[in-house]
Amino acid sequence: NAGVTQTPKFRVLKTGQSMTLLCAQDMNHEYMYWYRQDPGMGLRLIHYSVGEGTTAKGEVPDGYNVSRLKKQNFLLGLESAAPSQTSVYFCASSPRGTGDYNEQFFGPGTRLTVL
């Protein structure tokens, strides 16, 4: 039981390049999330999904796109990377969104640097 996995673990991009971050969970969770974590700030929600085929915007969605074609996978895309997107990206999943079913399980993170 791997839980939540993310690939890659590290990446360096040049401004304007694109990339996709992959997240997979094997807990059959309905909800999945993408966060970014910057020094001195709380986790900020980029996009989330409440089920296969659905996505929604979070607090800081600009510059990112997502897709959830399969229940176990949640992809985060950067179409044209900018230095402001240098951050640590965490994927998380939860069984549902209510009560203690909102407990979120996190992947190990992706450290992205945009030069």
Partner 1 sequence: GQNIDQPTEMTATEGAIVQINCTYQTSGFNGLFWYQQHAGEAPTFLSYNVLDGLEEKGRFSSFLSRSKGYSYLLLKELQMKDSASYLCAVTDSNYQLIWGAGTKLIIKP
Q: Which residues bind partner 1 (CB under 8 A)?
A: 40-45, 58, 90, 97-100, 102-109
Q: Which is nearer to partner 1, 17 or 105 (CB)?
A: 105
Rounded to a whole number of angstroms, the minimum distance from the CB of residue 14 to partner 1 is 25
How far is Cα 35 from Cα 60, in angstroms, rounded to an integer? 9
Rounded to a whole number of angstroms, the minimum distance from the CB of residue 26 to partner 1 is 16
Q: Which is nearer to partner 1, 41 or 69 (CB)?
A: 41
Rounded to a whole number of angstroms, the minimum distance from the CB of residue 16 to partner 1 is 28
Q: Which is nearer to partner 1, 28 or 98 (CB)?
A: 98
Q: Which is nearer to partner 1, 71 or 96 (CB)?
A: 96
Rounded to a whole number of angstroms, the minimum distance from the CB of residue 18 to partner 1 is 25
Bridge partners, 22 (sequence order): 7, 75
How far is Cα 63 from Cα 99, in angstroms, rounded to an integer? 31
Per the listing, tokens 């971050």 go with 21
How far is Cα 102 from Cα 85, in angstroms, rounded to an integer? 27
Tell me the CA distances in angstroms from 18 to 11, 69, 71, 87, 90, one per residue in order: 11, 20, 24, 15, 18
